Amino acid sequence: MTLCEKFKQGKFIVTSEIGPPKGVDLEQILHEADLIKGRVDGINVTDLQSSVMRIGSMSVSHMLKDRGHEPIFQMTCRDRNRLALQSDLLSAYSLGIENVLALTGDYPSLGDHPEAKAVFDIGSVQLIQVIKTLESGKDMKGNELKGSPKFCVGAVVNPGADPLEPEVMKMEKKVAAGAEFFQTQAVYDVEAYKRFREMSKGIKVPVCAGIVLLKSAGMAKFMNANVSGVTVPDDLIEEIKSVSKEDRPKKSIEIAARLIKELKPLSEGIHIMSIGWDKYVPDVLNAAGL
């Protein structure tokens, strides 16, 4: 059963995420992905996350597919023009990759090659339109394709955006373009998430609430200061600060499981972002009863 079929049947979806390494040694991430095989419905493969040069999402997604996983190929508009985006989409489908998450992407100035030139030929809404155009059997210029792909198309939304109205409006545009599911930015404030779901209740597309494992008080403070729309409440900062460095993974798992249990009744799925702590995802799933 495909990911979109699961959504359409009303199954509660659980997805996780891996960040490809800087290099070609994939043994560790593939091993850690195998730890959750059969326990999650999809595994996102990030596309040069945080604008840091790494091995590409497409090749890792293909390897996961070969190992029996259901990869979600993240594609950003940061590095490719419309020619490359369309070509990579066709290439991904030819490799058996059927799920795509359309993203605009972080600016290169945030990464390890800040002098790199950003492309941003099109944005995430138009990328979703491009995917649907390819599915119809034509390219962006209306030229006929010899065989067309069929993707399950996802998009992102930030439920903590302030103001929230423009974020919901962009969400509506993504649905109109063809988005079939959403994954959210990290959620730590459940009440804010409730407000987002209330404001977006007219949008009848599944939403998977994002969970980022909280590694330290320093990480929490950094996100509060630098990540738009993410607010880690003071009580969670104090909670993670109260334990020793050795006990932080256990406390992080406890916090993540608690958030998942609170967010599950408000969502159609959960998306777990481990940020390098992939080996703890099985523990999060166990603690959350997933």
> Would the pTM of this model clear 0.75, i.e. be above it?
yes
**Which pLDDT tens digit goes with each residue over 82-98?**
999 999 999 999 999 99
Q: Regarding the domain delimited by 11-288, which CATH topology (the fold level of the hierarchy) does it fall under?
A: TIM Barrel (3.20.20)
Domain edges within the chain: 11-288
For residue 275, name the pLDDT band (cuts at 50, 70, 90): confident
d(CA 48, CA 190): 29
On the question of pLDDT at 276 being above 90, the answer is no
Within a 10 A sphere around the Cβ of 287, how many other Cβ atoms? 18
**Which pLDDT tens digit goes with each residue over 184-209?**
999 999 999 999 999 999 999 999 99
DSSP for 92-157, please give it.
HHHTT--EEEEE----GGGSS-TTSPP--SS-HHHHHHHHHHHHTTB-TT-PBPSS----EEEEEE
Buried b (16+ CB within 10 A) or exposed e, 117-133: eebeebebbbbbbbbeb
d(CA 205, CA 155): 11
Which two structure tokens, joined as six digits, stand for 164?
A: 């929230």
d(CA 282, CA 257): 11
**Which pLDDT tens digit goes with each residue over 127-143?**
999 999 999 999 999 99
